[in-house]
Amino acid sequence: MDGQPGHIDQIKQINIGTVYRLIDQYGPISRIELSKKAQLAPASITKIVRELVDAHLVMETEFLDLGFRGRPATGLKLDSESWHFLCVSINLGSLILGLRDLSSTLIVEDVLPLPANKEKSFLDSIIDEIDAFFGRYQSRLERLTAISMTVNAIVDPTQGLIHSFPYYQVQELPIGEYLHRRTGLPVFLQHEITAWTIAESLYGTAKNCQNVIQMVIDEHVGVGVIIAGQTLHAGNRGVMEVGHIQAEPNGERCYCGNFGCLETVVGISHILSRAKRQLAMVPDSLLNGEPLTVESFCQAVNNGDTLAVDIIRDIGVKIGHIIAIMVNLFNPEKILMGSPLNASQQVLYPVISECIQQHALPAYSKQIELVPTKFNNSGTLSTVASVKKALYDGSLLISLMKG
């Protein structure tokens, strides 16, 4: 009998989260349709909806119901505008702070410098900037519900712990616990690539997919993996470090200490350096006389420039070999690419796909889709994922309803 209340509470939490998610995805939606999609009895829907409406998390609205000869019907949609959460994105040398409502709408966002400061601790620097942010935008702040953080470091999301962030000389920092004690708010911490992958699975290109691989290629290379709807390594240390798999045995030395890591081959700065080195041998390249950027490089690829096409095809082979291995390991439905190189996808993607078909098991690679991400991970967008996930599983909703 001791376990029964906890079990009932868990079922209630799951049901509330399910109803909220369906209203978010399909609203305005009638109670009848909501009952069908949630597979819950009408009486249960009535009770849950009443609680969400009383908590000002859901509201009634009229909408056109074609099933009733075009007459307006009473439907349900989210009531999100007065519920805000703080977004914190920590990068190498910069900090992005934002305020969003529960519908993910951005209220305000600031990009701030965050140098590695020996005179002030990393944690103190973050706290000071958050305090100043609230001071600047106090007049725009409504009910603050949570803090959601992403960081490009080794983290433990379940403990709110940054294991290692060498750029700021941070080791085993319980930043989630500290911010919770200071504010009383739930704090979500996630690796930025994992958060981006979750966002794509919730409301992006991989929506409704249960098995997803997302490869991110910019200055660094990382991968997020979702298996059976769950994030791989969700509770410990975040992402797979495929950027440090050796791609060229005799390649250049990586900052990790090894030679020829994938990141030293396909990272954006390394691609541009390679193109610059080879330009002298290809005087008629479209890249000559132009500022060499990833945008101009991709444009040259799309215009058929021999140098740019040769480089992007070689990069595609290197990426394709790694993805083929991961396809054999995880059998995904979709492979997502998050990268500025997506601008040259008409040339890049067929090369990657060909590698996958050649090197992955036919049963796994036959139906696989290679697609660009919906989002470009700019600003604080990825921080939304943790909050959405906590709303959809009901845990954050229960907290908000209790006040």
Q: Pick one of 2.60.40.1180, 3.30.470.20, 3.40.1790.10, 3.30.420.40 as the CATH number of 207-370.
A: 3.30.420.40
Higher pLDDT, 4 or 12: 12
* Cβ–Cβ < 8 Å for 285, 305: yes
Give residue-wise pLDDT tens across range 317-366.
Answer: 999 999 999 999 999 999 999 999 999 999 999 999 999 999 999 989 88
The CA-CA-CA angle for residues 390, 34, 59, to 5°, reads: 70
Query: Which position has the token pair 């701030």?
Result: 112
Q: Would you place residue 167 in the very low, low, confident or very high pLDDT band (cuts 50, 70, 90)?
A: confident
Q: Would you place residue 387 in the very low, low, confident or very high pLDDT band (cuts 50, 70, 90)?
A: very high
Q: Tell me the pLDDT of the chain averaged across its residues.
A: 89
Give residue-wise pLDDT tens across range 239-291.
Answer: 667 888 888 888 888 877 788 888 888 899 999 999 999 998 998 999 988 78
The CA distance from 114 to 28, in Å, is: 42
Half-sphere exposure of 326 (CA within 13 A, CB side): 28
Give residue-wise pLDDT tens across range 108-150.
Answer: 999 999 998 777 899 999 999 999 999 999 999 889 999 999 9
What long-range pairs does 134-140 form, CB within 8 A, spacing at least 24? 136/110, 137/99, 137/107, 137/108, 140/99, 140/107, 140/108
Q: What is the pLDDT of residue 336?
A: 96
* CATH number, span 7-76: 1.10.10.10
The CA-CA-CA angle for residues 57, 62, 68, to 5°, reads: 130
Q: Would you list the domain boundaries of the chain?
A: 7-76, 81-195+378-399, 207-370
Give residue-wise pLDDT tens across range 362-373.
Answer: 989 888 999 999
β-strand partners of 77: 59
For residue 223, what is the enclosing H or E element? strand 221-227
Half-sphere exposure of 152 (CA within 13 A, CB side): 17
Q: What is the pLDDT of residue 256?
A: 76
Which amino acid, one-letter code, is at 110?
Answer: D
Domains 7-76 and 207-370 share a fold: no
Which amino acid, one-letter code, is at 80?
Answer: S
The CA-CA-CA angle for residues 190, 193, 197, to 5°, reads: 95
Query: Quick check: 25 pLDDT over 60?
Result: yes
Query: Quick check: 153 pLDDT over 90?
Result: no
Q: What fold does the segment set 81-195+378-399 form as a domain?
A: Nucleotidyltransferase; domain 5 (3.30.420)
